[in-house]
Amino acid sequence: MTKDVLEQKVLKNHINGEWSEPKEVSDVINPATGETIVQVPLSTKDDVDQAVKAAKKAQKEWALEPAPMRAEILYEVGRIMKERKEHLSELLTMENGKVLEEARGEVQEGIDMAFYMAGEGRRLFGQTTNAELKDKFAMSVRSPIGVVGLITPWNFPIAIATWKSFPAIVAGNAVIWKPATETPIMANELMKIFIEAGLPEGVVNVVFGRGGDVGDAMVNHKDIRVISFTGSGETGSNIAAECGRQLKKVSLEMGGKNAVVVMDDADLDLAADGIVWSAFGTSGQRCTACSRVIVHEDVKEELEKLVLEKMKELKIGDGLKDDIKVGPIINQAGMDKIKKYIQIGKDEGAKLLAGGNELSGKEYEGGLFFEPTVFTDATIDMRISQEEIFGPVVSLIPVKSFEEAIETNNSVEYGLSSSIFTRDVNQVYKAQRDLDTGIVYVNAGTTGAEIHLPFGGTKGTGNGHRDSGVQALDVYTEWKAVYVDYSGKLQRAQIDVD
Ligand code: UN1
């Protein structure tokens, strides 16, 4: 089956129920081998216009379909994804590089989201409440917004797509989806699954291409009323500025500078496990990856020792191979950025404890691999402690107290995820209150969000919206207040109340 897709060679947009032949394409590279896997269309504003036209038409009908019936399609999507889990996971590893075990985890995240959002078809709760006048009824209901635009990243090409598209669909919207050009295969596969599950044509339209072409055309299209974007801070804030001008709803998730706090009473072996997994898993290319360790000075040396020991067991290479724990970096730009920050860290005076190099030689030929890297004795004002690197690089920052640890965690522009290792229950509760991030873990690393909870962050990470969880429905619905007067006479609110 994996072969089938790869034999397709050139992917196609899916607009109004049809696959369309692309005019221009670019290569999709397996980052572990350097081989071209398929080609992805580079679409234009015209393609977006066509997709929006189709989506507008389809959405009218779709919104009239009862939500539990819309949800039946998501149950079927979940069932098919489950059946194809292994196939999807292998393709995901090929296009994104993450190791197979993690790819399976990501596909599972999508399956979970399908069943969770399908359940929402029989909820989508609003509120009924009392009216202030006799013989009058009041309620609030969620209504779909119309055509929504989804711009999804390469690092979780299927999970994040499901966080956005499933709530949009169950709520009765139609979707224009621009997947990242690095990872179009997951989009192609999910689109095929939508079709097989019976989604009416035009409800989801996939338009492949670059942000500057397709993304901009989506943001600028007056009939796309919502943009949901996961990606870089710079692009996100440009999108928000434009959407603000057009009074368009926008939901943003733009990365993090996530820290694990290790207190002096922590189980250090467990903390080291949490750090190694959340810093070097997915080669550090998660928005939630741990890139700072804020450690109590009394346990710093012991923790360093444990982290270094555990890192030795991480085998780096092609994620399709059995014993590999760390896969490649997505592309040359990603690699250049990581190398730039290694140099910055050295220049700033942080001490390089391990790693710091791109891997070369026969074993790594064709791919882009970087050693898991640890800096220590970093300070919070250094750029390596402040800026997102998006690679397997972590910096240890020693602190003297719990208060300083919290303060250090919060002294960055981002606010996605944080974690604390401690056995002190008072510190646990204070930390969950005071760590200024959208996600907080206790005695676990900074990754591992589950789909039925809200995903997103404070400060520079986002703009107050959340992906996944029931909260995602707020992005794709309008609240409508409905008053039904059954008194048979004119009753004026606030006036005829006595
Ligand atoms: C992301 O990195 O953008 O919590 C998503 C996690 C995953 C999702 C990460 N469940 O790390």
> Is the pLDDT assigned to residue 50 strictly greater than 70?
yes
Atom of ligand 1 nearest to the CA of 448: 4
Ligand 1 atom having least distance to the Cα of 417 = 4
Quote the pTM value: 0.97
Looking at residue 5, its pLDDT comes to 72
State the Cα–Cα distance between residues 289 and 418, nearest whole angstrom.
Answer: 10
Whether residue 237 is predicted with pLDDT greater than 80 in this model: the reply is yes
pLDDT band for 2, please (50, 70, 90 cuts): low
Active site members: 253, 287
Q: How confident is the model at residue 497 (pLDDT cuts 50, 70, 90)?
A: very high
- Is residue 210 predicted with pLDDT exceeding 90? yes
Whether the pLDDT of residue 7 is over 80: the answer is no
Q: Residue whose CA is closest, atom 3 of ligand 1?
A: 287
353 CA → ligand 1 middle, Å: 27
Output the ligand 1 site: residues, CB below 6 A. 109, 155-156, 286-288, 447-449
Would the pLDDT of 6 be above 80?
no
Pocket test for ligand 1, best of 287, 390, 446 (most atoms within 8 A of CB): 287
The average pLDDT across 203-214 equals: 98
Helices 67-83 + 85-96 axis angle, to 10 = 80
Tell me the CA–centroid distance for residue 215 and ligand 1, in Å: 22
Mean pLDDT, the chain, whole residue set: 97
pLDDT (average), residues 277-297: 98
- Looking at residue 282, its pLDDT comes to 98
Residue 56 structure tokens: 């507008």
Interval between CA 155 and ligand 1 midpoint (Å): 9
DSSP string, 369-433: EE--EEEES--TTSHHHHS---SSEEEEEEESSHHHHHHHHHSSSEESEEEEE-S-HHHHHHHHH
Q: Cα of 255 to ligand 1 centre, how many Å?
A: 10
Atom of ligand 1 nearest to the CA of 447: 11
